[in-house]
Amino acid sequence: MSRERVLSLLRERQGEYLSGEAMSRTLGISRAGVWKAIEGLRQEGYTIASAPNRGYCLEDAPDRLRVGELFGLLSDAKIGSQLACLDEIDSTNTECKRRAMDGAPEGLVVTAEEQTGGRGRRGRRFQSPRGKGLYLSALFRPDLEPARVTDFTAWVAVAVCDGIEACCGVRPQIKWTNDIVMGGKKLVGILTELGIESETNALDYLVTGIGVNVNQEREDFLPEIQDMAVSLSQILGRPVRRAELAAQIILALDRMYAAYPEDRAEYLEKYRADCVTTGHQVQLITPTARRQAFALEIDSDFNLVVELYNGKRETVSAGEVSVRGMYGYV
């Protein structure tokens, strides 16, 4: 853990020299402990300059998700107050739920370099190649009835758009209800899962999983999704540091959760502005049928209002149907 704490200090002051004595005093470890942590970071690929009477300066770093990269940026946030940055896991959502059931506090964020069993809605597989994407899950414990959190994923979608915009300078759009898209292609998948207390039917926890395509090239996607998936690096024409993106998304989640559910008007307005589904012909897909409809608007509960071929209006919720474009993914 000393290595992560030293990295956090260097990251906060990147480009500046920080003396070993100052780090020793701040962290409560010996100068030898600081030196050992510095050497360990160098062996992991961190470029750390050193100079007599000046100390150490972080000049360059590998693109890794770890506590030391994130902790300083999230020091005042409730969401991200506890971090578990893992190398490989079946699913960050599954791991976050395990820890929730073991009593983990609200605000825990689990990340992974790779998922071997990443999941989307309706049990679909979410491709999670090592070191290419951002895979994180956050634990929330709102004091609300389960029926009052049905719109939570929509709020998360807005927060993810906020985080991507803060990091990358571009704002994606939302394909109702929980996919984030750019240029008509999927950029982010979101999956929210609930834990209910069996005896009282009270809400125990919410776990929201977010998977972002960050630095994938076309060949990194499975052939069947190459035409409907895109990454931030493809859009921007440059790589994106995943730790910086993770920090901005977590901070946006923290702001969102502080506003939830009272500031509905602000997030509803943003959702409606970001939603790419309304105003288009769509397919309403259930396990047994597909119907054509025209997407009219997002109602005050974040549900989708559509008009069917016979002129009848219908309100659909995310739990009932999936929506796809008539001639493509969006």
Q: Report the CATH number at residue 86.
A: 3.30.930.10
CATH number of the domain to which 298 belongs: 2.30.30.100
The more confident residue out of 289 and 172 is 172
Please check the confidence at residue 220 and state whether its pLDDT lies above 70: yes
Supply the pLDDT for residue 317. Answer: 87
Identify whether residues 114 and 225 lie together within a single domain. Answer: yes
The answer to whether residue 118 is domain-embedded is: yes
End-to-end CA distance of the chain: give it in Å, rounded: 45
In whole angstroms, how large is the CA radius of gyration of the chain?
22
Identify whether residues 108 and 187 lie together within a single domain. Answer: yes
Q: Which residues of 42-56 are buried (b: 16+ CB within 10 A; e: fewer)?
A: eeeebebeeeeeebb
Domain end (from 22, 38, 60): 60
Supply the pLDDT for residue 287. Answer: 81
Supply the pLDDT for residue 115. Answer: 87
CATH number of the domain to which 25 belongs: 1.10.10.10
Contacts of residue 278, Cβ cutoff 8 Å, sequence gap at least 6: 176, 272, 295, 296, 297, 298, 304
Alpha-carbon torsion (252, 254, 257, 262), positive or negative: negative
The answer to whether residue 330 is domain-embedded is: no
Supply the pLDDT for residue 56. Answer: 96
Please check the confidence at residue 152 and state whether its pLDDT lies above 70: yes
Please check the confidence at residue 126 and state whether its pLDDT lies above 70: no
Alpha-carbon torsion (280, 285, 291, 297), positive or negative: negative
Identify whether residues 242 and 257 lie together within a single domain. Answer: yes
The answer to whether residue 43 is domain-embedded is: yes
Identify whether residues 292 and 178 lie together within a single domain. Answer: no
Does residue 261 have a cis peptide bond before it, meaning omega lies within 30 degrees of 0? yes
Do residues 65 and 109 lie in contact, with contact meaning Cβ atoms separated by under 8 Å?
no
Identify whether residues 215 and 268 lie together within a single domain. Answer: yes
User: How far is Cα 18 from Cα 328, in angstroms, rounded to an integer?
Assistant: 53
Nearest-5° Cα angle at 211, 207 to 212? 145
Range of the domain at 114: 67-274
Please check the confidence at residue 127 and state whether its pLDDT lies above 80: no
- Residue-wise pLDDT for 265-315, tens only, equals 999 999 999 999 999 999 998 888 889 999 999 999 999 999 998 999 999
> What's the burial of 244, exposed, middle or buried (CB within 10 Å: 0-12/13-18/19+)?
middle
How many domains does the chain contain in total? Answer: 3
The three-state secondary structure class of 119 is strand
Identify whether residues 286 and 193 lie together within a single domain. Answer: no
Please check the confidence at residue 121 and state whether its pLDDT lies above 80: no
* pLDDT band (50, 70, 90) for residue 173: very high
Nearest-5° Cα angle at 314, 312 to 316? 160
- Residue-wise pLDDT for 35-60, tens only, equals 999 999 999 999 999 999 899 999 99
Do residues 231 and 213 lie in contact, with contact meaning Cβ atoms separated by under 8 Å?
yes
Supply the pLDDT for residue 120. Answer: 56
Identify whether residues 122 and 253 lie together within a single domain. Answer: yes
